[in-house]
């Protein structure tokens, strides 16, 4: 499987999407690609849809570091989707001629109570599941840094910084800076509870531990990108950058900052 021609197409299985995907499958086959139905057999995984579809594609295929991900959007291009379906011929030619530029994105590793880790590309969010605050002891490495009381916290990767993190006034982070950003959702600040009150960035070698204070409201919702974990009860959530990256096929002249400019300015 050294030749990069085993292609898996990831998309929402609707009648409408099947129609969009049909010509892409045909074109890929004509150009000598083998379409595989099991992503394990693929060395290229293409998502068709928006950023949401790309997030789903990485999650459902296990954030592989030994294959190339490609984001193809149906309408306008997004943060993870460098290409639109109008450019599909170009994408296929580029892969075929090995004229591809690849970017590497850091991903976040999340471990809840010593279970098997989860990975995320955008962020891990933890939120109260009732109309009541909950309390988290926040540790940076071994240091008990602060005690948070409020709605929740968002820990985002650099590429996730333009998503949920941005809505709570977090900073936009260049993905060439491997880091995690910790942002608050509506913290309560008074003489009993005090938090930093701004987002902060942790370097690649730091570990963040969130200990949910077991006071009755200790059933927060934990989200990894666009999926909620089915964990009913969490005590300790550890987060750090994963050792691995995902590799994404890149269009020339489409840097992160060009995409930020296009989307927001
Ligand atoms: P959604 O609520 O349907 O859509 C969230 C929006 O964010 C969509 O427009 C999506 O683009 C866009 N998006 C996703 N990743 C992005 C990124 N890295 N940079 C900029 N925009 C991005 O949820 P969804 O489509 O399932 O996406 C899940 C993401 O939604 C989560 O990872 C979280 O970041 C974000 N979210 C945001 C808020 C908020 O801002 N208040 C609340 C919950 C979740 P597409 O339309 O191309 O999919
Ligand atoms: Mn969406």
CATH code at position 188: 2.60.200.30
51 is catalytic: yes
| pLDDT (tens digit per residue) in 40-52 | 999 999 999 999 9
| Residue 234: domain span | 107-243
**Per-residue pLDDT averaged across 243-259, rounded?**
89
Q: Would you state the pLDDT for residue 100?
A: 80
In terms of Cα–Cα distance, which of 44, 63, 61 is closest to 110? 63
pLDDT of residue 146 exceeding 70: yes
Q: Count structural domains, the chain.
A: 2
Residues 131 and 235 reside in one and the same domain: yes
**Per-residue pLDDT averaged across 185-195, rounded?**
95
pLDDT of residue 228 exceeding 60: yes
**Eight-class DSSP state of 6:** E
pLDDT of residue 251 exceeding 80: no
Nearest bound ligand to CA 167?
A: 1
* 123 labeled binding residue: yes
In terms of Cα–Cα distance, which of 97, 89, 30, 100 is closest to 67? 100
Q: Would you state the pLDDT for residue 75?
A: 86
- Measured from CB, residues less than 6 Å from any atom of ligand 1 are 50-52, 55, 78-79, 122-123, 159-160, 162-164, 167, 225-226
CATH code at position 70: 3.40.50.10330
Distance CA 1, CA 184 (A): 45
pLDDT of residue 215 exceeding 90: no
pLDDT of residue 1 exceeding 60: no
pLDDT of residue 264 exceeding 50: yes
């Amino acid at each position: 499987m050294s030749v990069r021609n085993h292609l898996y197409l990831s998309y929402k299985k609707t009648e409408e999407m099947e129609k969009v995907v049909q010509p892409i499958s045909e074109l890929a086959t004509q150009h000598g690609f083998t379409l595989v139905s099991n992503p394990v057999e693929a060395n290229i995984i293409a998502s068709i849809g928006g950023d949401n579809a790309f997030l789903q594609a990485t999650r459902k295929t296990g954030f592989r570091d030994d294959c190339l991900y490609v984001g193809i959007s149906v309408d306008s291009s997004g943060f993870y989707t460098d290409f639109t379906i109008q450019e599909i011929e170009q994408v296929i030619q580029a892969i075929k001629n090995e004229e591809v530029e690849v970017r590497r994105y850091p991903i976040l590793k999340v471990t809840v109570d010593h279970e098997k880790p989860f990975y995320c590309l955008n962020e891990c969010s933890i939120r109260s599941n009732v109309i009541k605050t909950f309390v988290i002891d926040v540790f940076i490495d071994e240091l008990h840094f602060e005690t948070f009381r409020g709605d929740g916290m968002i820990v985002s990767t650099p590429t996730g910084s333009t998503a949920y993190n941005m809505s709570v006034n977090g900073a936009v982070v260049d993905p060439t800076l491997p880091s995690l950003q910790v942002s608050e959702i509506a913290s309560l600040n008074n003489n009993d509870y005090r938090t930093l009150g701004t987002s902060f960035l942790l370097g690649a070698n730091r570990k963040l531990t969130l200990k949910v204070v077991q006071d009755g409201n200790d059933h927060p919702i934990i989200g990894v990108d666009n999926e909620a974990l089915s964990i009913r009860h969490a005590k300790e959530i550890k987060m750090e950058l994963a050792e691995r990256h995902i590799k994404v096929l890149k269009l020339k002249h489409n840097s992160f900052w060009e995409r930020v400019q296009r989307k927001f300015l």
